[in-house]
Amino acid sequence: MEKLIIEIEQRMVGLLNNFQMEELHKVLMENFHGLIFLGRSNKSYDDKVDYCNLFICAKGVEGCSDKSIKYYKSTIDNMFKILKKPVKHITTEDLRNYLSKYHKNSNCSKVTIDNIRRILSTFFSWLEDENYILKSPVRRIHKIRTGKIVKETYTDEHLEIMRDNCKEIRDLAIIDLLNSTGMRVGELVNLNIEDINFNERQCIVLGKGSKERRVYFDAKTKIHLKNYLKSRIDDNEALFVSLLKPYKRLKISGVEIRLRQLGQKLNISKVFPHKFRRTLATRAIDKGMPIEQVQHLLGHQKIDTTLEYAMVNQNNVKISHRKYIG
């Protein structure tokens, strides 16, 4: 009975207003109360269609990365596994309960829950756009409020200490390139030697969504990069390779482990590649670079993402208060 009522209401969503929908629900509940519906032995068309796979295929065509697609699929599959309902029978209440129980049972952060909500919203909105359902049940589930955490950036002193204590010239070049360009670590390890334009002190990286963008590095980085390449005895096309034979292209995990070890040795907390990116954004905004240019430099689609990366220097806020307010 519940499934039948939902299907009827789904069909009437675009024709009735909220008040009329409430009245329709009351009438259906009153008239169907006490009736027995015989189940069908054969599965309906909705049960046979793999809506998750259709959505994943569409995202692949749109150019989503393998990592994003894997996250989409696991999140949606888990939702179906727990709810055990055909997609057209899933309600807003079902999803609210699912998110609430997931948060309670997994003891994860609100940020994680909002990421799940966002993915489910994207999935059901796509189903609505493709006319598989009449209305997304996630529409009435709003963004989950999360506590604002002030994330750390590297101080000038920390950067110089790390530079001075690099035993390998490769590691020094990596730190300088991350610090001066703000590129993602995944973009860094995918660079080839031929991608570097030393005359213009720039290179083109392949960012998220297979989008290319130009990034720039300073004179210090140029010198250290050239010194590193001169020291190489291999013929690998990759810009950064392992220190030992067979000198394979350096992986993301290799960069992360190397930086973490350096931080532990120097007693500097939370040394990891992405922190250089946040440090660059903060430094650029503090020095007056327009936020739109910082957004382009980092390769962000939305300016809100750029603002989240940049931690405004409190001293600058104090100076501006005295200048503009008194």
What's the pLDDT score for residue 42?
A: 47
Q: Are residues 180 and 238 in the same domain?
A: yes
In a domain, 93, yes or no: yes
244: which residues sit within 8 A by CB, 6+ positions away?
Answer: none
Q: Are residues 118 and 170 in the same domain?
A: no
What's the pLDDT score for residue 45?
A: 46
- The domain in which residue 109 lies consists of 2-129
**Residue ranges in the chain whose pLDDT is less than 50:** 41-45
Q: Which residues pair with 212 in a beta bridge?
A: 206
- d(CA 296, CA 306) in angstroms, rounded, equals 9
Q: Are residues 224 and 79 in the same domain?
A: no
Structure tokens at 18: 């909220």
In a domain, 207, yes or no: yes
What's the pLDDT score for residue 249?
A: 96
Active site residues: 184, 208, 274, 277, 300, 309
What's the pLDDT score for residue 13?
A: 66
Q: Are residues 33 and 68 in the same domain?
A: yes
In a domain, 151, yes or no: no
Q: Are residues 181 and 315 in the same domain?
A: yes
In a domain, 268, yes or no: yes
